[in-house]
Amino acid sequence: MRKCSLNSLQSVFGKIASSALLYLPVDSADGRAVFSKWDDGTPLSNALNTVRSPKDFFFPQTEDLMRFKTEGKSIEVIDVREETEDFVVFGVRACDVKSFDILDRVFLAEPRDSYYASRRDHGVIVSLACTRPSETCFCSTFGIDAASPAGDVSCWKTESEMFWQANTEKGEALIKKIEELTEECSDEAVKEQQEKTARIMKKLPLAGLNTDAFGGGKTEELFDRPEWTELSEACLGCGTCTFVCPTCQCYDIKDFNTGNGVIRYRCWDSCMYSEFTKMAHGNNRLSQKERFRQRFMHKLVYYPENNDGLFSCVGCGRCLSKCPISMNIAKVMKKLGGE
């Protein structure tokens, strides 16, 4: 483990940014944290987390997949893919780091999504341990330790110092780069912080939330539960939960005619939207209840069934704080799990 003083953090950032694009949570003008590109002196936000999750780095809301040129009856397909520049994302919380594992299992499964894979290959994740979780946090429900975040490098911030620990080859390379600006140290201060955070985690209102009622193979048990009606009753059918969610990865592919050729692009989509499953001749989910159920069944049953029991939720709490009607996965789990 290595450390640097917070006073020298900007020089460390400068060193990292000298060979890769560096992104970190920064306070925006209206007081919310947003992942932004680091420039000389850009201060790290003190906020617990960003409104938008860091999934954007690998699976952006909108991206061009290819272009077409058409002339008469002919079509030319233009590959617009470019090798991603090396980049580092600093300050990713434990929950969000876990979300990348969940996205990987979708996008890196054969056939690999080359757009996503390229960004994964070129991105380095530097996580940052939490010390002041919010009441909306429930990462421990999914076995995530907010005080021991994964990632290529894990960091812990104390009153005066930043501690760095490499976990992967990519991480080792990054640590090597900032070797001169950091010093070898014991992990005592980190351990102390971890113990303190663990005590706080136990006090969180959602600390008791558990996944006992969920997992692969529970479709029959859960699908026709009458509670879905009540749970989905007030759902507006908007996509807020989906779009702030670090693990939601459904997408749409659309064509945009620029007047000078066609761009085929991919954008986030939401199973909460009425036209998500609409075909030319029908729609297999006609009610909001069915669409609402799909989102939670996918996270809590279908995804784990296909992925060795891994749930597709990391307990980041974004949907808890952003749903316009305050309906969310924690409430769904409590209701269906028998409170």
What residues from 160 to 219 belong to the interface with other proteins (CB under 8 A)?
200, 203-206, 216, 219
Residues in 221-280 that interact with other proteins by CB under 8 A: 223, 230, 233-234, 236-240, 242-244, 249-257, 262-271, 273-280
Phi, psi (5° rounding) for residue 267?
-140, 155
The rounded distance, in Å, linking the Cα atoms of 200 and 149 is: 16
Residues 6 or more apart in contact with residue 148 via CB below 8 angstroms: 94, 129, 154, 194
Q: Which of 36, 134, 158, 168 binds other proteins (CB under 8 A)?
A: 134
Q: DSSP per residue over 81-131, as a string?
A: --PPPPEEEEEE-HHHHHHHHHHHHHHSSSSP-HHHHHHHHHEEEEEE--S
Binding residues with other proteins: total (CB under 8 A):
104
Residue among 111 and 226 whose Cβ is closer to other proteins: 111
Told to check if 106 binds other proteins by CB under 8 A, we report yes
Q: How far is the CB of 296 from other proteins (least distance, A)?
A: 13
DSSP 335: H
The residue within the footprint of other proteins, chosen from 19, 109, 160, 191 (CB under 8 A), is 109
Give the amino acid at 87: F
Of 87-95, 107-115, 144-152, 176-184: span binding other proteins (CB under 8 A): 107-115
Of the residues 320, 329, 332, 336, which one makes contact with other proteins according to CB under 8 A: 320
Of the candidates 98, 35, 34, 107, the one whose C-alpha atom is nearest the C-alpha of residue 315 is 98
Q: Interface mask (CB under 8 A) for other proteins, residues 43-62, using x and -?
A: -----x--xx--------xx
- Going by their DSSP bridges, the two strands 87-92 and 74-79 should be labelled as unpaired
Angstrom distances, CA of residue 41 to CA of 7, 57, 65, 66? 11, 22, 35, 37
Count Cβ atoms below 10 Å from residue 5 Cβ, excluding itself.
13
Sole residue written with tokens 């799990």: 337
Q: Does 73 bind other proteins (CB under 8 A)?
A: yes
* Phi, then psi, of 283 in degrees rounded to 5: -145, 125
Residue 294 interacts with other proteins (CB under 8 A): yes or no: yes
Classify 290 as helix, strand or coil. helix
Q: Would you say 4 or 128 has its CB closer to other proteins?
A: 128
Neighbours of 322 (CB within 10 A): 16
Using CB under 8 A, pick the residue from 23, 115, 228, 292 that binds other proteins: 115
> Where in 1-20 is the site for other proteins (CB under 8 A)?
none
Name the segment binding other proteins (CB under 8 A); options: 12-20, 139-147, 162-170, 324-332. Answer: 324-332
Q: Which of 8, 20, 21, 68 forms a contact with other proteins (CB under 8 A)?
A: 68
- Smallest distance from the beta carbon of 146 to other proteins, in angstroms? 13
